[in-house]
Amino acid sequence: MMDTAGENTRARLVEAAREVFAEHGFQGATVREICRRADANVAAVNYHFGSKHGLLSEALNFNRLKALQSATESSDASPEERLRAFIMDFMLMLLDEDNASRQCQMMARELADPSPALDKIVVEAIAPLHEFLGRLVKEVAARKMMDADVRRCVYSILGQCLFYRNSHPVLQRMNPTLHYDRKEIEAIARHIADFSLPALRAVK
Amino acid sequence: MMDTAGENTRARLVEAAREVFAEHGFQGATVREICRRADANVAAVNYHFGSKHGLLSEALNFNRLKALQSATESSDASPEERLRAFIMDFMLMLLDEDNASRQCQMMARELADPSPALDKIVVEAIAPLHEFLGRLVKEVAARKMMDADVRRCVYSILGQCLFYRNSHPVLQRMNPTLHYDRKEIEAIARHIADFSLPALRAVK
DNA sequence: CAAGATATCAAACGCCTGTTTGAAAGTAAA
DNA sequence: TTTACTTTCAAACAGGCGTTTGATATCTTG
């Protein structure tokens, strides 16, 4: 059994796939481009993963997102502070430009143009995320809320967060100097929390 | 000069193109599928519009969105009421499932995977929309606000609205009975307004 | 009607896609 | 070294893509 060369190209393929899928989405990505970046032969994808879809499935990974949720849940800060902290970490994950957390970008891509992998993403990552945020919203509101209202508050928070990622091409065109450095991301996260908390407190 | 047959296939192509572009995005749409739905020959697209891009450019139309803005601006209701009304009309336009306003769906598609037409969309539709919302936000807040804060409030409102469209495939998978009928859309719009207004009033 | 412009069509072109193939290279154990 | 197995590779495959072509209808105008 090999380990150095074989496992290396496998790992390199997965990493390159994350890059290319995040940039171009599943449809827009080509296995030739992935193999070029991984410095591997075109046939390598089908040899190691069976198909382009198999590679996508392997490239999807929600560890970072899950870790973020459990970190927030095990905190003993006030519900408001936990929501603030979650939004901050979530935005850092979403907008960090040169880090390795391309999973969120891939997920955002999947939303725009679903492939068969979306079912896996929904069950393993998005549904738990929504439930987690629903619990947090109820804690912050500290009132009896109907499920539909809780859900919509979750949508409002997530919608604000995802906007910066989904609309990035547009925002960049309208404001060419836009750049998501650490300070800017923190300001955005602070705004989203400041915008959302009054609404949650005002829930009737 | 012809008018019945010739103009007919031209118009049928534009209409079919709106359908297909809205469903699959520019990349995912094929001219063969468009021509099939328009009951036209494959060569018709290049004959009438020069290229697939030319057809996209022709299919883009922002009349409905512009009309919505001027209707809101010429109203003499209070700023809060005008914001409520705008959100309602905007959501009706975004989520209406079987109407002819596929322009917004096409625009949302463009955001996810920009084509050269995005520049036109930004300049002609999105930038004016953001400016319009910025003025409305300032009126509602009725306080001096920094430009960056105004902008972020606009993002918060638009983000909430667009979430329902962008994340529709996911929401449908998590809640299979989800259906955007008139009543549901009105409830969503009311929620977004109720969620956003306390935040705008609380602006410091 | 005849001439000429306009529109439609089947067929093909060149390119790119994901995938397959069969041979070559590399590795591990007997 | 021989044997068996895994991994890499260049090349090709079949199919879909946007676009072009040249012939054929269809219609307008003199």
- The mean pLDDT value of chain A amounts to 91
Q: Structural domain of residue B183, as residue ranges? A: 63-201
In angstroms, the separation between the Cα of residue A147 and the nearest Cα of chain B is: 13
If asked whether residues A17 and A73 sit together in one domain, one would say no
What's the confidence (pLDDT) of residue B2? 38
CATH of the domain at A27: 1.10.10.60
- CB of B161 closer than 8 Å to CB of B94: yes
pLDDT value of residue A60: 92
Res A4: pLDDT: 41
The pLDDT tens digits for A7-23 are 699 999 999 999 999 88
Alpha-carbon span A140 to A183, nearest angstrom: 26
Q: Which residues on chain A are in Cβ contact (under 8 Å) with B195?
A: 152-153, 156, 196, 199
Q: Which chain A residues are within 8 Å of B152, Cβ to Cβ?
A: 188, 191, 195
Confidence of residue A104 (pLDDT cuts 50, 70, 90): confident
Q: Do B156 and A201 touch (CB under 8 A)?
A: no
Please count the residues of chain A.
Answer: 204
Residue B113 has a pLDDT of 76
pLDDT of res. B3: 39
Tell me: do B17 and B78 sit in the same domain.
Answer: no
Regarding whether B106 and B123 lie in a shared domain, the answer is: yes
For residue B72, CA distances in Å to B75, B76, B102, B121, B185 come to 5, 9, 21, 21, 19
Nearest residue on chain B to A161, alpha-carbon basis: B159
Residue B23 and residue B114 in one domain: no
In this prediction, residues A66-93 reach a mean pLDDT of: 93
Do B51 and B72 fall within a single domain?
no
A39-75 pLDDT, tens digit each? 999 999 999 999 999 999 999 988 888 898 999 989 9
Report pLDDT for B97: 76
- Residue B67: which CATH number? 1.10.357.10
Strand D proximal residues, A:36-75, Cβ < 7 Å:
40-44, 47-48
CA distances (Å), origin A94, targets A160, A161, B80, B84: 12, 8, 32, 30
Distance A15 CA to D1 C1' (A): 40
Are B46 and B105 in the same domain?
Answer: no
In the predicted structure, residue A34 carries a pLDDT above the cut 60? yes
Least CB–CB distance from A159: residue in B153, B163, B202: B163
- Residue ranges of chain B with per-residue pLDDT less than 50: 1-6
Biggest CA–CA distance in chain A, Å, is 64
Number of neighbours of residue A9 by Cβ within 10 angstroms: 18
Report the distance separating Cα A159 and Cα B11, nearest Å. 36
Q: How far apart are CA B153 and CA B149, in angstroms?
A: 6
Query: Could you give the C-alpha distances from B116 to A179, A192, B26, in angstroms and in order?
Result: 22, 31, 10
| Single-letter residue type at B33 | E
- pLDDT value at position A7? 67
For residue B1, what pLDDT is reported? 39
- B104 and B192 housed in the same domain: yes
The total of structural domains in chain A comes to 2
Which position has the token pair 């769906």? B105
pLDDT in tens, B76-124: 999 999 999 999 999 998 888 766 567 877 887 887 778 888 998 999 9
| Alpha carbon of A27: minimum distance to chain B alpha carbons (Å) | 8
Specify whether A51 is located in the same domain as A107.
no
Of A118, A149, A199, the CB nearest to B198: A199
